[in-house]
Structure 1
Amino acid sequence: MSSTTSRFKVPNTLIILLFIALFVALLVPWVPAGYFEKGVAISLDSYRVAEHNIHIAWFASGKEVGLFNAPFEGMTSGSRTGSAIGVIAFILLVGGAFGVINASGAVDRGLLRLIAITGDHPRLLLGSLFAAFAAGGAVFGMGEETIAFLALLLPLIRRMGYPPEVGVMMTYVASQIGFGTSWMNPFGVALAQGIANVPLLSGAPLRIVMFVIFVSTGIAFTLWYAERHRKPQPLPDDAGAAADSTAGAAACASTGNAADSGQPAALASASMTAADRFILAGIVATIIWIVWGVVAAGYFIPEIATQFVTLCCYTALIAIFAKRLTADGAAEAFINGAQQLMPAVLVISMAKGIEYLLGGSNPHAPSVLNTFLHSMGTMLETWPPILAAQGMLAVQTAFTFVIHSGSAQAAINMPLMAGLSDLVGVTRQTAVLAYQLGNAMANMSVPTGAILMATLGVAGVPWTRWFGIIWRFQLLILLMSMGMVAFAVLYGYN
């Protein structure tokens, strides 16, 4: 049995991305690079072939492109408000913060209390959380924020006996379903409608119905998977010493599960103290602060990361005064929490490095991405409406492998897709719908997605394992998306 397992062992995600990068590096020099002229609308007519193809060396200097340069270029790409560099800083700081929070032991005690309260209704809790995160994706485009919330919820998921991928489903996957079926998200559907000259927030009734159908499907799959893989953990009797509970807290900080740590569940048996209540109150207050900041104040990655640093310092002070941790212990817990997310940082860097090898995502700079976009648009121009709409969905889905941001994909693809929809007899509202569904639904599984890989890193779930879990649901959602796009064409969705 062991020999069979080792024979078919799937490579590490970094190895997979490295081979993808090598394939891209070999392919790109043979594909003409292209760009769309500045100062005019992006369209098939505004596309120009660059004078030279993109040359990729093994090692490059200056403005040249090199295969071995990809990890560094990927790691330092973007801005402080987006991937890669912004997301990397965000997950390292959040990881460190939760290292301190977990080491305090307060979360474990609070979760045991919550499990006792919920009793025999964990399905209601999971379904409610899934719907809440889907609503967050629909209303304000929740995406990166799910990384932090997942870190908050993972201890609860484990204590209830569910595997960590259930937490990914009810946070990140839920947010993507909400994003893809949103009727009001300003960073997705509203932006795409504005670019396509479609009245803002129009077509809401169909999208709301679609939201309910897709979210219900997501909840059903999550609950089905969760129950099939649940391993209930019995709650121990209330008898434990404070000293033992501190030792249990340290063990839980490294594993997230008292039973798995090899300790005699002393932490779980300890009752909640005033320090636990103060720390948990700080966590709840921070969640409220984050939600308010995102919805009302426009907070994004820099502000949210700082909010978690604030929570980290608050928790460390409480734990130090309560003699749960020393100052050095709190610092070590922060470092350990950040170190646990280094694999996710490296995966994000490689994923963005692949985009670098393709020439980047700037529509006005020569890149192979622009060439692929123009070629697909030219092909779809000759198709009948219902097939052309499905082709648009396929284009948006394919581009999600290299352009993951919904707003970036809208800015790059929608000008061309809007004009293309007029040529093939598809309404622009349908083109926007294809953009929404193609971008968000593919983001559930593409290994080049920085946010997905960061989320899986927080959960400790390798991408290869995740894909083996999610591919059936992903196929179902894609088929449902194709059905919605076909209905929109037949209905004349406008």
Structure 2
Amino acid sequence: MEKKVKKRRSMPTAYSILLLLIVAIALLSHGIPGVKGASLADVVMAIPSGFLDAIDVCLFILILGGFLGLTGGTGALEAGIAHVVRRFQGREMILIPILMFLFSIGGTTYGMAEETMAFYALITATMIAAGFDAMVGAAVILVGAGVGVLGSTVNPFAVSAAIDAIQGSGRGIVIDQGIILLIGTVLWLICLAAGIWFVMRYAARVRKQGRSILSPAELQASRETYAGAEEVRTEEKSEKDGTITAKEQLTRAQKASLILFAISFLIMVVSLIPWKSFGVTIFERTAWLTGIDLGEWYFQELQAWFLLASILMAVIARIPEREAIDSFVRGAADMIGVVFVIAVSRAISVLMQSTGLDQYVLAYASQTLGDVSPVLFVVTGYVIYLGLSFLIPSTSGLAAVSMPTFGGLAAELGFRPEVMIMIFCAASGLVNLVTPTSAVVMGGLSICRIEWTTWLKFIAGFLAILLVISLVVLSAAIFIL
């Protein structure tokens, strides 16, 4: 008799996980006194409301997808990736710390999060072409930017939002930003070093031993999505063996396309850094394009910029009008799944706010912190913010609703409110590396064709390392400062 082969149970998709969370929160709201029970209408309208709440980032991703599709149609990206891989042949591991350092700077300075969506396709393709897997591409961006956000120094969406919330509470609390800068820098650099070690160790295992954490289905999906990168990798191996000749040099049009591609992303990064808060005034006369100076742009300005860049790309690459439109629409269509994930993720926050469950959790947490020792204050505050960050993944939103209470509580207990701000940043940064309520996590993984459950398995050990580092640094800070 033939043995029956057990069919492997497939893991739930990101959509199923998020929908289950919406239902769970709705049910939970009915069992808590003082919280408005979610009605059927609240649940049904949560996802449309999530779309409206996340419309800026959703439209940005669609337009960006169109730009990437248009650029991909020129063949410049594939040729450019091949050039980078050849340039670093035998030294591909160097790409990982360089890229992670750059992303971490974005995280610590301006809270680089949704903006990283622009890089997933390119970085993942580059990593696959270099002989790694899609997980390395996802980790370089998520961990790189994530440890930067965890160790925020001047991040306006975390540090500035928290300072503003405390000082706007009317308690007369003065915040020393130098202390925040010191603690943030220490956290950032230590966590970055740990992150680089973690990702490079996994990357070496994938490349040397072929041991990927991705399931066969995920490997197949990433190969199909980034087929061009696989071809580059095969070509590089064949060139090394001397079986085929190298591809021809980049054409003049492809070089021009790559230059425009690089400038487009450089402008995006420059436009998001709050230069005026650093006393830098060189961008004060740059409002002629969008009406807003570089350094103060957000998603609406970025949407306009990448639309303009798409038109310029079509002109420079001499793409016929109909072909350019078709490439743009196909590129945007590739991002539809990502947009749906982001909208459903945002629906959870919308439901939390409409029921008042977020405020209930906040009030309960503030009672827990009263009259504790310094170390216990750090640990308890950190644990509370882990929970709050899961429920309210927006760092600026969490700062606005929690910091007036927790910052004042820290001052009343004789602790520095600056340490409480960094407890908030560290805990929020940790959770936003993994929580399925984060549009950044779910959207980024979707682009890389990685399931959330696989990411959780990959990142769990590193989260424990970050937790220990954070608690040690913050406990030392509360005693020393």
1:451-490 equivalences in 2 (<5 Å): 451-490=440-479
Equivalent in the alignment of 1:11? 12
Q: Where does structure 1 lack aligned partners over 5 or more consecutive residues? A: 34-52, 78-83, 234-251, 361-365
Q: Kindly tell me: are residues 169 and 288 of structure 1, through their superposed partners in 2, closer, same or farther at Cα, counting changes over 3 Å?
A: same
**In structure 2, distance between residues paired with 1:314 and 1:330:** 11
1:318-467 equivalences in 2 (<5 Å): 318-319=316-317, 321=318, 326-360=320-354, 367-467=356-456
1:397 is matched by which residue type in structure 2?
L
**In structure 1, distance between residues paired with 2:349 and 2:421:** 24
- SS of 1:202's partner is helix
Q: Kindly tell me: are residues 149 and 202 of structure 1, through their superposed partners in 2, closer, same or farther at Cα, counting changes over 3 Å?
A: same
Q: Deviations over 1:289-322 (max 9, x none)?
A: 2233223422221222322222222222333x2x
Equivalent in the alignment of 1:198? 175
Equivalent in the alignment of 1:26? 27
- SS of 1:6's partner is coil
**TM-score where L is the length of structure 1:** 0.81
Q: How far is the alpha carbon of 1:456 from its aligned partner?
A: 1.7
Q: Deviations over 1:203-233 (max 9, x none)?
A: 4334323222111111111111112123899
- SS of 1:187's partner is helix
**In structure 2, distance between residues paired with 1:232 and 1:91:** 35
- SS of 2:184's partner is helix
Q: How far is the alpha carbon of 1:119 from its aligned partner?
A: 2.0
**TM-score where L is the length of structure 2:** 0.83
Equivalent in the alignment of 2:206? 229
**In structure 2, distance between residues paired with 1:284 and 1:402:** 36
Q: Kindly tell me: are residues 293 and 232 of structure 1, through their superposed partners in 2, closer, same or farther at Cα, counting changes over 3 Å?
A: farther
**In structure 2, distance between residues paired with 1:151 and 1:311:** 18
Q: Is this contact kept in 1: 2:264–2:306, CA < 8 A?
A: yes
Q: How far is the alpha carbon of 1:97 from its aligned partner?
A: 1.3
2:329 is matched by which residue type in structure 1?
I
**In structure 2, distance between residues paired with 1:127 and 1:2:** 47
1:172 is matched by which residue type in structure 2?
L
Q: Is this contact kept in 2: 1:183–1:201, CA < 8 A?
A: no
Q: How many residues align?
A: 433
Q: Kindly tell me: are residues 294 and 352 of structure 1, through their superposed partners in 2, closer, same or farther at Cα, counting changes over 3 Å?
A: closer
Higher RCO (C-alpha under 8 Å, 6+ residues apart): 2
Once the two structures are overlaid, the 10-residue window that deviates more, 195-204 or 331-340, is 195-204
- 1:313 is aligned to 2:326: no
1:357 is matched by which residue type in structure 2?
L
Of residues 279, 287, 292, the one that matches 2:265 is: 287
1:451 is matched by which residue type in structure 2?
V
Once the two structures are overlaid, the 10-residue window that deviates more, 285-294 or 93-102, is 285-294
Q: Kindly tell me: are residues 185 and 353 of structure 1, through their superposed partners in 2, closer, same or farther at Cα, counting changes over 3 Å?
A: closer
**In structure 2, distance between residues paired with 1:262 and 1:179:** 33
- SS of 1:130's partner is helix
Q: Is this contact kept in 2: 1:401–1:448, CA < 8 A?
A: yes
- Cα RMSD for the two superposed structures: 2.8
Q: Where does structure 2 lack aligned partners over 5 or more consecutive residues? A: 167-173, 211-221, 236-243, 276-293
Once the two structures are overlaid, the 10-residue window that deviates more, 203-212 or 436-445, is 203-212
Q: Is this contact kept in 2: 1:103–1:333, CA < 8 A?
A: yes
2:324 is matched by which residue type in structure 1?
A
- SS of 1:222's partner is helix
Q: Is this contact kept in 2: 1:158–1:257, CA < 8 A?
A: no
1:114 is matched by which residue type in structure 2?
V
Equivalent in the alignment of 1:237? none
**In structure 2, distance between residues paired with 1:327 and 1:173:** 39
Q: Is this contact kept in 2: 1:112–1:268, CA < 8 A?
A: no
**In structure 1, distance between residues paired with 2:442 and 2:254:** 32
Q: Is this contact kept in 2: 1:151–1:458, CA < 8 A?
A: yes
**In structure 2, distance between residues paired with 1:359 and 1:30:** 16
Q: Is this contact kept in 2: 1:103–1:253, CA < 8 A?
A: no
Q: Which has the higher helix share?
A: 2
User: Percent sequence identity over matched residues?
Assistant: 25
